[in-house]
Structure 1
Amino acid sequence: MHILVCVKQVPDTTEIRMDPKTNTMDRSSAPTIINPFDAHAVEEAVKIKKEFGGKVSIISMGPPKAEEVIKKCIEMGADEGYLLTDRAFAGSDTLSTSYILAMGIKKVIEIERIDLLLCGKQAIDGDTAQVGPGIACRLGMPQLTYVESIENFNLKKNVVVVHRKIDNGYEVVQSKLPCLITVEKDINELSFSPLTNMIKAARYKPITWGINDLGGDLSKLGLNGSPTSVQRIFSPKQRVGGELLKGSEDEVVKTLVDKLKGGIRKWQL
Structure 2
Amino acid sequence: MSLRIVVCVKYVPDAAGDRQFADDHTVDRDEADGLLSELDEYAVEQALQIADDADDAEITVLTVGPEDAKDALRKALSMGADKAVHVEDDDLHGTDVAGTSLVLAKAVEKTGYDLVVCGMASTDGAMGVLPAMLAERLGVPQVTLLSEVSVEDGTVKGRRDGDAATEHLEASLPAVVSVTDQSGEARYPSFKGIMAAKKKPVESLDLSDLDIDADEVGLDGAWTAVDAVAERPARTQGTIVKDEGEGGKQLAAYLAEQKFI
**How far off is 1:20 after superposition?**
4.7
Partner of 1:167: 163
Partner of 1:145: 144
- After superposition, residues 201-240 of structure 1 pair within 5 angstroms as 201-235=197-231
Partner of 2:30: 28
Provide, for residues 91-147 of structure 1, a one-character-per-residue CA deviation record: whole Å limited to 9, x for no partner: 1011111111111111112xxxx2211001111111111222111111111111211
TM-score under structure 1 normalisation? Answer: 0.83
Partner secondary structure for residue 221 of structure 2: coil
Give the counterpart of 2:94 among 91, 94, 108.
Answer: 91
Say whether the 8 Å CA contact 2:22–2:28 is kept in structure 1.
no
Say whether the 8 Å CA contact 1:40–1:188 is kept in structure 2.
yes
**How far off is 1:203 after superposition?**
3.2
**How far off is 1:233 after superposition?**
1.3
- After superposition, residues 96-111 of structure 1 pair within 5 angstroms as 96-109=99-112
Greater helix proportion: 1
Root-mean-square deviation over aligned CA pairs: 2.8
**How far off is 1:242 after superposition?**
7.3
Partner of 1:74: 77
Partner of 1:190: 186
Partner secondary structure for residue 145 of structure 1: strand
Aligned-pair identity in percent equals 27
**How far off is 1:9 after superposition?**
0.9
Instruction: Report the Cα distance in structure 2 between the residues aligned to 1:221 and 1:259, rounded to whole angstroms.
Output: 49
Provide, for residues 227-246 of structure 1, a one-character-per-residue CA deviation record: whole Å limited to 9, x for no partner: 201111124667896798xx
Partner secondary structure for residue 99 of structure 2: helix
**How far off is 1:196 after superposition?**
3.0
Partner of 1:47: 49
Partner secondary structure for residue 220 of structure 2: coil
Instruction: Report the Cα distance in structure 1 between the residues aligned to 2:240 and 2:35, rounded to whole angstroms.
Output: 43
Say whether the 8 Å CA contact 2:207–2:213 is kept in structure 1.
no
Partner of 1:116: 115
Provide, for residues 23-45 of structure 1, a one-character-per-residue CA deviation record: whole Å limited to 9, x for no partner: 11111222211111111111111
Partner of 2:11: 9
Provide, for residues 148-184 of structure 1, a one-character-per-residue CA deviation record: whole Å limited to 9, x for no partner: 111x4321xx222211132324211121111111111
Instruction: Letter of the 1:62 partner, please give it.
Output: G
Instruction: Report the Cα distance in structure 1 between the residues aligned to 2:183 and 2:48, rounded to whole angstroms.
Output: 13
Gaps of 5+ in 1: 264-269
Partner of 1:266: none
Partner secondary structure for residue 137 of structure 1: helix
Instruction: Report the Cα distance in structure 1 between the residues aligned to 2:257 and 2:43, rounded to whole angstroms.
Output: 51
**How far off is 1:195 after superposition?**
3.4
Give the counterpart of 1:154 among 152, 155, 158.
Answer: 152
Q: 1:68 to 1:240 in 2, by over 3 A?
A: closer
Q: 1:236 to 1:195 in 2, by over 3 A?
A: closer
Instruction: Report the Cα distance in structure 1 between the residues aligned to 2:229 and 2:22, rounded to whole angstroms.
Output: 8
Instruction: Report the Cα distance in structure 2 between the residues aligned to 1:7 and 1:236, rounded to whole angstroms.
Output: 28
* Greater radius of gyration (CA): 1
Instruction: Report the Cα distance in structure 1 between the residues aligned to 2:18 and 2:221, rounded to whole angstroms.
Output: 24
Give the counterpart of 1:179 among 175, 178, 193.
Answer: 175
Partner secondary structure for residue 99 of structure 1: helix
Instruction: Letter of the 2:187 partner, please give it.
Output: S
Partner of 1:58: 61
Say whether the 8 Å CA contact 2:13–2:19 is kept in structure 1.
no
Instruction: Report the Cα distance in structure 1 between the residues aligned to 2:213 and 2:257, rounded to whole angstroms.
Output: 60
Instruction: Report the Cα distance in structure 2 between the residues aligned to 1:133 and 1:206, rounded to whole angstroms.
Output: 26
